[in-house]
Amino acid sequence: MAKEKQTEADVNNTAQAEGKEASVEQKLVALYALQCIDSRIDKIRIVRGELPLEVQDLEDETTGLETRKEKYDQEVSELEAAISEKKNAVKESQALIKRYEEQQMNVRNNREYDSLSKEIEFQSLEIQLCEKRTKEFSFKLEAIKNQIKDSEGILKERIADLNQKKEELNDIIEETKREEETLQVESDEKRKDIDERLLVAYTRIRANSKNGLAVVPVERGACGGCFSKIPPQVALDIAMHKKIIVCEFCGRILVDSEINERI
């Protein structure tokens, strides 16, 4: 907190370091005018809210679903190939059994008959194993196809959501783009009228404030940034416009109602 908060001495040293071409009052007016412009830009960006993040999240989710579907499609192809391979193996075993049975009709002794019988038994077992694997692959294939169907439904919904969010975001951007660009030009112009080191101080305070407020008016005897009470003597010093005063609690630059009304 000590590193982030701009001390009153630092701000005043900054304000005085560039010479006396502008009074403290003029510098306060310029700073507060810049703050008002920058705050309007902030509000425009806040209007967009979480839409950019929502769009990014939906894009990431959509990409993930598409990648998952590609993997499912690859598994389907592999399973279909495996099923086809097992069915061909069954046909080959059936053809061998038929051939062995024909050979049994012409054997010369029991030894040859028994040998062929073992081959027939082996091929029958191969057929049973292939049919078992085919059922397993078919069951898995059906499950993956159901997953693909579910994923396609979710993907379709996410794409619809994504397109809707993109349209909303584009509409908001289009509506506020011209105003934001105009205000940004005004902000850039205002910055040219402010001492460089004072501007650096303003930028630093603003960056350390969650709401982007670096210059705030005193409201009902309290800091307009952190709402801490301002001592009467400090309030009097603020009204004198003789030096730049910062809140001892949050480090924001303080201005009185007179400067606030001049903007």
pLDDT for the residue 257: 87
pLDDT for the residue 11: 54
SS3 category, 161: helix
Terminal Cα distance for the chain, rounded: 30
* β-bridge pairing 245-246 and 253-255: antiparallel
pLDDT for the residue 63: 95
Q: Rounded to whole angstroms, how far apart are CA atoms 1 and 250?
A: 9
Q: Rounded to whole angstroms, how far apart are CA atoms 241 and 262?
A: 14
- Confidence band of 7 (pLDDT split at 50, 70, 90): low
Model pLDDT for residues 46-61, shown as the tens digit of each residue: 877 788 889 999 999 9
Predicted TM-score (pTM) of the model is 0.55
Question: Residue 216: beta bridge partners?
Answer: 254
Tell me what percent of the residues of the chain surpass a pLDDT of 70: 92
Tell me what percent of the residues of the chain surpass a pLDDT of 90: 76
Rounded mean pLDDT, 16-23: 56
- Comparing CA positions, the residue from 202, 168, 200 lying closest to residue 37 is 202
CB contact at 8 A, 196 and 17:
no
Rounded mean pLDDT, 198-214: 94
pLDDT for the residue 210: 86
Question: Residue 219: beta bridge partners?
Answer: 222
- Confidence band of 38 (pLDDT split at 50, 70, 90): very high
Given a cut of 50, whether residue 3 has pLDDT beyond it is no
Rounded mean pLDDT, 127-147: 96
Given a cut of 70, whether residue 232 has pLDDT beyond it is yes
pLDDT for the residue 147: 93
Rounded mean pLDDT, 90-96: 96
Given a cut of 50, whether residue 187 has pLDDT beyond it is yes
Rounded mean pLDDT, 178-202: 93
